[in-house]
Amino acid sequence: MENDGSAIALEAHELTKIYRMGAVEVHALRGVDVEFSEGELIVLLGPSGSGKSTLLNILGGLDTPTGGTVTFRGQLLRMDSERALNLYRRDHVGFVFQFYNLIPSLTARENVSLVTEIARNPMSPDEALSIVGLGDRIDHFPAQLSGGEQQRVAIARAIAKRPDLLLCDEPTGALDSKTGVLVLEAILKINRELGTTTALITHNAVIAEIANRVLYFADGRIVETRQNAVQRAPGELAW
Amino acid sequence: MSSLDRKLLRELWRLKAQVLAIALVIASGTALLIMALTTIEALEETTAAYYERTRFADVFAQAKRVPEHLGRDIAEIPGVRLAETRIVEGAILDMPGFAEPVVAQLLSLPERGPALLNALVIRSGRLIDPTRPDEVVVSEPFAEAHRLKPGDTFEAVLRGRKRTLHVVGTALSPEFVYAIAPGGLMPDDERFGILWMGHDALAAAFDLKASFNSVSLSLLAGTDEKDVIQRLDGLLAPFGGIGAYGRADQTSNWFLESEIAQQKNMSRIMPMIFLAVAAFLTNMVMARLIETERREIGLLKAFGYGNLAIGWHYAKMVLVIGTIGVLIGSLLGTWLGHWNTELYTKFYRFPFLLYRPGPAGFVIAGAISLGAALAGSLATVRRAVRLAPAEAMLPPSPPIYRRSWASRTALAGALDEPSRMILRRIIRWPVRAFLASLGLAMSIAVLIMALQWVDAIDSLAETAFERGQHQDATVAFNELQPVDTVTDFENLPGVLSAEPYRHASARISHGHIVERQGIIGVRDGAVLSPVFDVERGRVEVPPGGVMISRKLAELLNARVGDTVAVELLEGRQARLTLPVAQIFETYLGTPAYMDMAALNRIAGDGRVVSGLHIRVDARSRTNLLERLKDVPNIASVLFRQAAIDTFYKTMGETIFIFIGFFVAFSVTLSVGVTYNSIRIALSERARELATLRVLGFSRWEISYILLGEAGILTWIAVPLGAAIGYGLAWYMTSAFETELYRVPLVLRDATFGKAALIALTATLICAAIRAPAARSPGSDRRAEDKGVACERREAQIGHLGQLTGPARGRHCLCAAAAAYSGRPCRCGGRNVASDDRRGGRDAGARRLHTSRAVAWSVATHHRRARRHRQGGGNLARADRARCARVSRRAHGGGAAGRGRGSSGRA
């Protein structure tokens, strides 16, 4: 997807995050500036503890920064208002987590319904599950699904609300490569077909090939940004 | 139904055992409260309806012999609506097949027309025929005790003359709802009966023609009862009146009202204690249960659910559990209430029972129970929703442990690691440990409070009937007898000794406080039935002044040395002031004593006695009983052993059954708190225990770590529970103090032991139930089969060793392999730093992924591995080869052989 000249969907300025663990202060983010364009697919790459997940949590309104600002479509996010953050998450952001975080007592369809019931303009749970190729597994409980299937339910749950922003934290981290490819294809499909701005955290450098842009993290900072000239399809990847 | 509601229902179903345990705790408190409230309601409603239908009188008075024409004067007292005169006398009955003389109270029925007041409710047969002087209607309980039915006859001694009386009917009267013999403590239907005869027949038998000796009045609404009593006393005084009294002082009604008051007392105290304990336990259990829902709360917040929606979701969970509890409690409470009210009707005889519990009891009980459950749980939900979603979704950070001075002692050195884990956990969360212990302690305390009744009643009976009294029987006369009667009785066959006493009806007042209280005159040097202080033992009556019980002193607000006004209500109605010479403690009634000679002196009756306490030679008992049936002037004979037997029989049918219920409820509390504590501890520590299992700990070692903590907390709970139980027992005994009786605070060592044993047994049973869960991280194994466990196992290991990135993956592989080979993990996560340093970003990521893939193949057990070997697995070729290598390493020779064979086929 060509993004040059697209509108800015999300913008973070001088983000810092300090965790205090007793007397020790851990600087998770040390002044991060970043911009996501509408419809862009960004991969965040870096070793553990480099601040990727912290950034994604703050951008998604799951956590608040110690300093700095986040602007979504020109509107400054009010980090001090829990209600504002809640509405932001509810209306605009879809999350996919490494460990799926499905509710074990709900079926695939019900897990998706959990979100569609409170969203403003959702697609039906069946449609969301069909998009990720799970139209025939809708009444299965998480325990009856494989890891890849569970992750695809999690993606269906994230996209069912038609989010403007899809944030994925190591979505293939717990999967084998073949299943990982299926999951990446689902994410790419949503990015392309729905035009959802997507940010994806991974440890796997190979996966970076599917992105428009790759942000390299180290020690709480973005140390390098790379624009991929060509986006490769997940099916072409091997790791 | 929304997805959240579905989640709620399925979660409740999953936690059904815990839900039931909490619900039963709530049900215990609710049932007790409903039982008490509905019993009170039923007793009050039944009493009111019964009194109204039978025109129960408002004022009663007795005299010696009053001319009939005075009845008109009485009826003309302002405020009197109806006045009815009658004859009330005592008699001794000789019941067929019953050795002891039976005491009866005879009451006259009007010759014509129905009774204006205190109407009888005929239960069988008919009313008497005025033309047949030997016909009697007997009280239904007495008829039942002696299996009397209309047509039966028995002998009676009426004023020294033996008569044969014919039973024509059985009846109940509002005057004898609680029928006790004069001087008795509890109804004894075998030894005390009520008989109704025609007025003329009784007048003839007792030489009371054209006279009466008892009158009942009903008053117009708004009439001052005191004024009427005063005027009535004035009219009756010249005819031997012994002081009129209102409905409140009527014996049967006084007992009934006292019982209702006692029930009200009980409804305030016992269920409240249970509900408070239940609320505390529900609070504690729900708090910890919701604590384990932290990740779900974070997730719901991440989806955009607001705090209110999440709070309501968990409130619904609490409400459902609470409602189940309240429903079970309501059903149980209604059943218990009905049963309890029926039990009352065995001692309080009503012709009908109105048990129609209104909504008030249920609403109060439900609101208190649900409110208590909600209040506790919402605080925890509020804490949970305050967390940022990102933080809530993470497993809680590893708690910070520090080596304290205790860790450096020699004792600490001698501990093994599992014991150290148990102790450190308790020391790390002392408040939580204390609260868990307190929960158990509360259930022990409630048990002690319930079991204390057995000790208290034993002590009460022992003090009142054995230490305080030594006579075998007490004989009361119809009229005062000269003191020489003592010698006559001593000469009766089988009488070893006789000790006289004097009783005088009186009003005692101090300042503006007036109490109607008889005074007992005790002979100097009395030994058979002396004045007995529960602590000091036998006390000599001082020659001057009056000696009053502590309760009476409290009612009169009098102290030793104060002067009280005494108004005798018989004889020449002497009025004088006397000093309070001594105060003594007794468990029963509110007695007052004087020296017998002094009492006779102020009464001006000469040397007379009201009755005798006698000791009987057991060998001549039957002979004596036969003689007593024929002795004139005897109003009643009370046997000490019969009183003890009746006391225990009554207690056995009432209090001891209640104690049984309380013990059952206490055990429910105990099981509820223990089961939930263990179950929640298991949820909280699932990762830690699963990790230990992976590291090679046996199921017993794991159980030891889990249950050891519960064990220690239970041991701490025992002394704590004993102390709280003592406090509760003290509170109960002081709150239950009435004019009728005081429950002594007696707690035997065995009671503490029994309570502790019951609690420990409950803990052991809960531990046994939960042991299978602690046996192995079986749920993890099952989850592995479903393909979700590698990351969980990885998280556990990462959690344990604080490993990160590639080293975490490598360790995951190593530990998983170790788990299935039964060997310890070799890497122990020691390559963390070097891995992170050595590996470049991409290389590290690749290594991590590879190791995860292989770990996956091992961790998904034989089934998945076999599928890989058969070429049907999902792994890439290179990974399949690695998988096979690991498989060979993990399963040793045999498995390796099979692995090679399979690989060959692949």
Mark A138-147 as b/e (b = at least 16 C-beta within 10 Å). bebbbeebbb
B residues 10-29 lying closer than 8 A (beta carbon) to A: 10-11, 14
Question: What integer is the mean pLDDT of B434-459?
Answer: 86
Mapping DSSP to helix (H, G, I), strand (E, B) and coil, where does residue B469 land? Answer: coil
Q: Nearest-CA residue of chain B relative to A174? A: B791
The top-scoring range by mean pLDDT among A176-180, B524-528, B608-612, B866-870 is B608-612
ipTM of this complex prediction, to 2 decimal places = 0.82
What tokens does B261 get? 């008051």
Inter-chain touch A110–B6, beta carbons under 8 Å:
yes
Sign of the dihedral defined by the CA atoms of residues B766, B771, B773, B774, in that order? positive
pLDDT confidence of residue B406: 64
Place of tokens 């096979």: B884
Q: Is residue B377 part of a domain?
A: no
Q: What is the spatial distance between Cα B623 and Cα B630, in angstroms, rounded to a whole number?
A: 12
pLDDT for B413 equals 67
B157, part of any domain: yes
Q: Give the residue on B whose Cα is nearest the Cα of A46.
A: B841
Min distance A192 CA to chain B CA atoms (Å): 23
Q: Which two tokens stand for residue B415?
A: 């501990």
User: Which among A48, A238, A239 has CB closest to B804?
Assistant: A48
Say if CB B754 and CB B662 are below 8 A apart.
no
Domain finish residue from B232, B256, B280: B256
Cα distance from N-terminal residue to C-terminal residue, chain B:
50
Q: What is the pLDDT of residue B471?
A: 92
pLDDT number for residue A1: 43
Q: Does residue B546 contact residue B564 with C-beta atoms inside 8 Å?
A: yes
Say which range, A113-127, B652-666, B780-794, has the weakest mean pLDDT.
B780-794
Would you call B846 and A143 a contact, using CB atoms and an 8 Å cutoff? no
Work out the pLDDT band at B891, boundaries 50, 70, 90.
Answer: very low
Higher pLDDT, B902 or B403: B403
Domain finish residue from B572, B597, B616:
B616
Put simply, the answer to whether A174 touches B791 (Cβ < 8 Å) is yes
Indicate the residue among B616, B644, B677 that finishes a domain.
B616
Residue of B303, B835, B856 best to disrupt the A interface, most CBs of A under 10 A: B303
What chain A holds in terms of domains, given with CATH numbers, is: 38-64+80-236 (3.40.50.300)
User: Where is average pLDDT lowest: B585-599, B693-707, B744-758, B773-787?
Assistant: B773-787
Q: B123 in helix, strand or coil?
A: strand
pLDDT at residue B407 in the model = 62
Mean of pLDDT values over B576-590: 91
- Please check the confidence at residue B779 and state whether its pLDDT lies above 50: no
Could you tell me the residue range of the domain that residue B570 belongs to?
495-616
pLDDT given for residue B120 in this prediction: 93
The yes-or-no verdict on residue B789 having pLDDT over 70 is: no
**Cβ of B10 and A95 within 8 Å?**
no
Indicate if the pLDDT at residue B784 is higher than 80: no
**Which tokens is B220 given?**
């117009």
How does residue B849 score in pLDDT terms, banded at 50, 70 and 90? Answer: very low
CB pairs under 8 A between A and B: 135
Q: Where are the alpha helices (DSSP H) in B304-429?
A: 307-347, 359-386, 389-393, 410-414, 417-428
Give the C-alpha separation, B28 to A175, whole Å: 50
Taking CA–CA distances from A104, the nearest residue in chain B reads: B7
Cα separation, B702 vs B723, in Å, equals: 33
Range scoring the smallest mean pLDDT among B36-50, B475-489, B668-682: B668-682
pLDDT at B864: 42
The values of phi and psi at residue B162, to 5°, are: -80, 130
Q: At what angle do helices B307-347 and B16-53 cross, to 10 degrees?
A: 40
Q: Is the pLDDT of residue B549 over 90?
A: yes
Q: How many residues does chain B have?
A: 906
On whether residue B165 sits in a domain, the answer given is: yes
Interface of B with A in 783-812 (CB under 8 A): 783, 786-788, 790-792, 795, 804-805
Percent composition of chain A: helix, strand, coil (DSSP 3-state, to 5): 30, 30, 40
Question: Does residue B851 or residue B438 have the better pLDDT?
Answer: B438
Q: Which residues from chain B sit within 8 angstroms of residue A111, using beta carbons?
A: 3
CATH number assigned to the domain comprising residue B535: 2.40.70
Least confident of A223-227, B48-52, B259-263, B347-351: B259-263
A167 CA: distance to closest CA in chain B (Å): 11
pLDDT on residue B865:
40
B341: in domain: no
Query: Does the pLDDT value for residue B872 go beyond 90?
Result: no
pLDDT confidence tier of residue B803, bands split at 50, 70 and 90: very low
DSSP per position, B784-832: HHTT-HHHHHHHHHHHHHT--HHHHHHHHHHHHHHHHHTSPPSSTTTTH
B722 in a structural domain: no
Which positions 826-855 of B are in contact with A (Cβ < 8 Å)? 836, 841-842, 844-846, 848-849, 852-853
CB contact under 8 A, A63 and B856: no
In tens, the pLDDT along A57-107 reads 999 998 899 999 999 998 999 988 888 888 899 889 998 887 788 888 889
The verdict on residue B659 lying in a domain is: no
A105/B391 CB distance under 8 A? no
Q: Per-residue pLDDT tens for A171-185?
A: 888 778 888 888 888
**How far, in Å, are B179, B348, B453, B516, B818 from residue B186 at the CA level?**
8, 11, 18, 20, 75
Mutation pick from A44, A48, A178, A179 vs chain B, by most beta carbons of B within 10 Å, is A48
DSSP string, B712-775: HHHHHHHHHHHHHHHHHHHHHHHHT--SSB-------HHHHHHHHHHHHHHHHHHHHHHHHHHH
Is B388's CB within 8 Å of A63's CB? Answer: yes
**Contact partners, residue B197, CB within 8 Å, separation at least 6:** B106, B107, B108, B109, B128, B133, B135, B136, B165
- Of A18-32, B247-261, B705-719, B852-866, the range with the lowest mean pLDDT is B852-866
- Structural contact between residues A124 and A100, judged by C-beta atoms closer than 8 angstroms: no
Contact of B737 with B551, CB cutoff 8 Å? yes
User: Are A105 and B879 within 8 A, CB to CB?
Assistant: no
Answer yes or no: do A47 and B305 touch at CB < 8 A. Answer: no
Would residue B327 count as lying in a domain? no
- Would you say residue B685 lies in a domain? no
Give the distance from residue B5's alpha carbon to the nearest chain A alpha carbon, in angstroms: 10
pLDDT bin (cut points 50, 70, 90) of residue B559 is very high
Which token pair is B702?
A: 């794991």
| Total domains, chain B | 3
Instruction: Write out chain A residues lying below 8 Å of B845, CB-based.
Output: 202-205
Give the containing element (helix H, strand E) for B498.
strand B495-504
Residues 6+ apart with CB under 8 A from B762: B443, B667, B670, B671, B674
Determine what percent of chain B is predicted with pLDDT higher than 90.
26
- The residue among B450, B439, B441 whose CA lies nearest residue B282 is B439
Is the pLDDT reported for residue B56 higher than 50? yes
Sign of the Cα pseudo-torsion (B264, B266, B271, B277, in order): positive
Max Cα separation, chain B?
126
